[in-house]
Amino acid sequence: MIIPSLPPAALPEIPSDLPAFTLNAGGKVTSWNAACARLTGITAREILNTGEQWRAFYLSPRSCLADFILSGRIEELRREYPTTLRQGASGEASCLLHIERTLEGESSIWTQAGLLRDASGDAVGAYQIFQTVSLTQIAAFSPIIQAFIDKFPLPVALVLKQKIVATNMAYAQLTGYDSPEEMLGMPIGLFIDESDRERFLNLNANNHEGILSGGTYYWKYRVRGEVRHVEGHPSVFPWGKETALISTIVDITDKIRKEKELESERARLERENARLQARIGGQNEIFLGRGPAMRKTMNLALQMGKTDTSLVILGETGTGKSMLARVIHDVSARRDQPFVMVNCAAIPEQLLESEFFGYVKGAFTGAQGNRQGFLGAAHRGTLFLDEVAELSLSMQAKLLHAIETKKYTPVGGNRPLDGDVRLICATNRDLVQMVKDGALREDFFYRIFVVDIPIPPLRERREDLPRLIEFFLAKFSPLDVRPRIPDDLMKRFLAYDWPGNVRELQNVILRYLATGQAQFISPAREGVSSFPQERERERERERERIPPRRRGNAGACAGPRGARYHPERAGKLRRQQAARGGASRRQPAHLSPPLRKTRHCAAASGAAGLTHFRLEKAAGAGRNKIQPRVLHPQDAVRQRLPFPGSAPRDIASAAS
């Protein structure tokens, strides 16, 4: 029920069913109508001509709203009721009050008070009217609550007894209504789509017992025949004898639509990638790896295939850089155009310009006719430059200009031709270091190095070895029955480092199919195995050969600077000795440069240290053996050893 504003006349006309009382200028009760007596249980005879009007609302004496108005304590009134008080231009005031007594089962009232004036306009008393209000009425007609809801930036609704009692314009527009007033009293499940209605009713049954305050719920609203997706953030709290729910709503229809579009696009891309992967596998299966490194490379390659960006493929020899370039071309928009592969290292420098740009008839001696170059042959297609780091600086500048302008002029010609190519380069060298060393032009580097695609070496993708082995066996086996690799040989395959990568694996498989033996031939450093376990065992054997007095120093000889023992150099020395049939008469190769420097320059430096050599008879060898020992000068003095400048040469000559 909406309470009418009363005019500030002498004695306003008050409906008979509305509780009201009046006070004189002294604050005594002068009238107490029947509705007031019926609601409060206090008769007019009990309260007339007394100042006990507070008994209608409180259990102990307190000022009523009429008392504040009559005494002019406006500031105190504002402090007493800071949130719900509303004042009129003529001094009347209204507010919602929480009272101590219970009237008709309610502890809240709406009340209004104002001054009574005589004919001359002087204040002669005050009046106060009131009525009980339920929490639903408070929510619906409270100015402070409605103002808060109206100004809230998101759609919001206040619900009591499963019905909307307050909402704002944003919520009305979301649900397809023109104003919030149209929605008052509507059940909250009216807008829920049929697919969500049962779940909604179950959660909101029994005063919203299934709703978790602060939670997030997703619903489908049916608005004018259209489904809208919303995200609700409800809060459930007690309000008197009722349970109230206030919920803010976020329209996420556009977000859901975009997510569905992205999901559809993702599914399409996955299908396309699967198709491309199958297409790639039909050409060459070396790129179909299960490891994360190869999957990352292939995903990047497929992504770059959809662009026209220049890129560089980086990888060791034998990893399949040219094959990957072909794959990128085959999945690109230029797949129906030429793919021209150029090995830059195989072209003599004096022929680079004519090979890339072509020439016209009579451009030089022997030019009997026009010839198209690589740029012309790859027009509208892909130009793949393998070993791009081998191009000369002058050729880099010319090629850079042709790529940027998409124009080139043949050797001996004077008319530029179109050269629209997508550039893919490959190298196994460090291009950044080459720029620092001046071997690669910086502007050329930035033109080709837009995106880099690294191909992992085979030793970093060992999980792909069984599949690659099966692929090569099926590809190269002349028999209908595919041969099988024994388990012990497969273990050696998995333990091997494969410095030649996939190309070496292919050669080993071919050798195995031809001879029945798997022979690992690698141009590694002499004496260094490509099996990590064997390299470690070799190091252990070399450590055991170190004299005990050196082991405590981690292989370093004594002395102020020391000399480190190098197992690889020691192994090389032993092989040289075996080839000559005896010990070497030269300086031992396993001594590090600091020791060799000490040996020849000890006398000249005077303080760097002294190398003393002793001649020993090698057991059963018939040769003199030189054993070096590095001593500090103080040790040399203590042992009374000579401090000569030519002793090492004399000893060496004596040993020879």
CB 300 within 8 A of CB 486: no
**Which bin fits 176, alpha (ψ -120 to 50), beta or left (φ > 0)?**
left
Q: Do 584 and 478 fall within a single domain?
A: no
Question: By three-state DSSP, how is residue 251 classified?
Answer: strand
Cβ–Cβ < 8 Å for 274, 415: no
Higher pLDDT, residue 146 or 48: 48
Residue 122 pLDDT more than 90? Answer: no
Q: Measured between alpha carbons, how far is 542 from 372 in angstroms, rounded to an integer?
A: 60
Are both 388 and 448 inside the same structural domain? yes
Question: What is the rounded average pLDDT for all residues in the chain?
Answer: 77
Residues 294 and 315 in one domain: yes
Max mean pLDDT among 353-367, 419-433, 535-549 falls in 419-433
More confident residue, 489 or 531: 489
CA atoms within 13 A on the CB side of 419: 27
For residue 24, the tally of other CB atoms under 10 A from its CB is 15
Residue 13 is classified by DSSP as: -
Taking the C-alpha atoms of residue 337 and residue 200, their distance in angstroms, rounded to an integer, is: 59
- Which of 76-80, 378-382, 509-513, 595-599 has the weakest average pLDDT? 595-599
Report the CATH number that the domain containing residue 242 is assigned in CATH: 3.30.450.20
Single pTM value for the model: 0.45
Q: In this structure, is residue 243 part of a structural domain?
A: yes
Where is the domain boundary, 435, 454, 473?
454
Q: Which residue has the tokens 């500048």?
A: 397
- Final residue of a domain: which of 133, 150, 177? 133
Alpha carbon of 42 to those of 21, 35, 65, 442, 509: distances in Å? 12, 10, 19, 100, 110
**Any long-range contacts for 26-31 (C-beta under 8 Å, 24+ apart)?**
27/51, 27/67, 27/70, 27/71, 29/53, 30/125
Distance, CA of 254 to CA of 26 (rounded, Å): 66
Q: Which two tokens stand for residue 458?
A: 């085979």
Q: If we measure between CA atoms, which residue out of 122, 125, 166, 126 comes closest to residue 144?
A: 166
Are both 76 and 149 inside the same structural domain? Answer: no
Asked, for residue 147, whether it belongs to a domain, the answer is: yes
Our count of domains for the chain comes to 5
What percentage of the chain reaches a pLDDT higher than 70? 71
- Closest by CA to 11, choosing from 26, 27, 24, is 24
Pairing of strands 339-343, 106-117: unpaired
- Per-residue pLDDT at 586: 47
Per-residue pLDDT tens digits for 284-322? 555 556 678 888 888 888 888 888 999 999 999 888 898
Q: Which long-range contacts (C-beta less than 8 Å, at least 24 apart) are formed by 106-111? A: 106/132, 106/133, 106/134, 106/240, 107/240, 108/132, 108/133, 108/134, 108/135, 108/138, 108/240, 109/57, 109/133, 110/3, 110/137, 110/141, 111/65
User: Is 258 contained in some domain?
Assistant: no
Q: Could you tell me if 323 and 417 lie in one domain?
A: yes
Buried b (16+ CB within 10 A) or exposed e, 392-426: eeebbebbbebbeeeebbbbbbeeebebebbbbbb
What pLDDT score was predicted for residue 365?
80
- What gap in Å lies between CA 500 and CA 523, rounded to an integer? 9
- Choose between 100 and 626: higher pLDDT: 100
Q: What is the CATH number of the domain that holds 315?
A: 3.40.50.300
Buried b (16+ CB within 10 A) or exposed e, 159-197: bbebebbbbbebbbebbebeebeebeebebeebbeeebb
Spatial neighbors of 278 by CB under 8 A, at least 6 apart, are none
Of 99, 133, 167, the residue at which a domain comes to its end is 133
In this structure, are 150 and 101 located in the same domain? Answer: no
Tell me, yes or no, whether 358 and 393 share the same domain: yes
Its domain, for residue 634, covers: 562-655
pLDDT in tens, 174-202: 888 888 888 888 888 888 998 998 999 88
pLDDT at res. 131 = 86
How many Å from the N-terminal Cα to the C-terminal Cα in the chain? Answer: 126
Does 168 reside within a domain?
Answer: yes
Q: What is the pLDDT of residues 546-571, one digit of tens each?
A: 666 555 554 444 444 445 545 556 55
pLDDT of residue 42: 92
Same-domain status, 147 and 127: no
Tokens 């837009």, residue? 450
Residue 8 domain-assigned (yes or no)? no
Regarding whether 480 and 385 lie in a shared domain, the answer is: no
Do 123 and 160 reside in the same domain of the chain?
Answer: no
Same domain, residue pair 300 and 439: yes
Taking alpha carbons only, the member of 72, 62, 89, 48 closest to residue 123 is 72
Mean pLDDT of 320-330: 88
Q: Based on the fold, state whether residues 359 and 236 are members of the same structural domain.
A: no
> Does 504 fall in a domain?
yes
DSSP per residue, 528-571: --SSHHHHHHHHHHHHHHS-HHHHTTTTBPSSSS--B--HHHHH
Whether 11 is in a domain gets the answer no
Query: Is 422 within the bounds of a domain?
Result: yes
- In angstroms, the CA 15 to CA 309 distance is 84
Residue 83 carries which DSSP code? Answer: T
Is the pLDDT reported for residue 114 higher than 60? yes
